[in-house]
Amino acid sequence: MIKFFRLFLFIMLGCFGALASASGTEVVAPNPDIAPQEVVDIQLTGLQNNDNPERDFGIRQTWAFAHPGNRRMTGPYPRFAQMIRSPSYIEMIDHASHSISLAKQGEGWQQFDVLMETKGGNVLFFSWVVEKVTEGECKGCWMTTAVSAPSPAGQGS
């Protein structure tokens, strides 16, 4: 029974990728009960508060909800973190505010329009796509498959 429990726990942690930090702080893990828009908000809120409670916690939170297919394209984690810190996405880190609205949806996927005010006051537009995982340990969880490069969308408050 103990061996079964350990195997079950190992599989669940592999799916959810909790990415526990050295201090023991864990990110929110994917779960079939988390709605698509909540996935986007969890990721954006993490990036908005990137270094809270510790350095790059928000980037780890975002990685936790990266769809397995997305991870194959952008991972492993150190490469993903480097991509988030690249000129294309750096404005996501510690941004001032964001809004999320459903743009399109289909069977097993949803696309959201994201408006983000940077800490410098610029507003950026992103298209954010989530899909429901159809197989493997994360089956039934909504996870991010794509985020567009930002486009300017005006000035904030």
Q: Which domains can be identified in the chain, with CATH numbers?
A: 2-155 (3.10.450.100)
**Residue (of 130, 128, 153, 154) closest to 141 by Cα position:** 130
How far CA 56 is from CA of 33, 41, 82, 84, 104, in Å, comes to: 26, 17, 11, 10, 31
The reported pLDDT for the residue numbered 151 is 97
Average pLDDT, integer, range 7-23: 40
% the chain with pLDDT above 90: 80
The reported pLDDT for the residue numbered 12 is 39
| Long-range pairs for 1-8: beta carbons < 8 A, 24 or more residues apart | none
Average pLDDT, integer, range 30-55: 98
Alpha-carbon distance of 25 to 109, in angstroms, equals: 30
The stretches of the chain forming alpha helices (DSSP H) are 2-16, 36-48, 57-64, 68-74, 77-84
**Residue (of 131, 117, 142) closest to 47 by Cα position:** 117
Alpha-carbon distance of 49 to 67, in angstroms, equals: 22
Q: Rounded mean pLDDT of the chain? A: 88
Is pTM beyond 0.75 here? yes
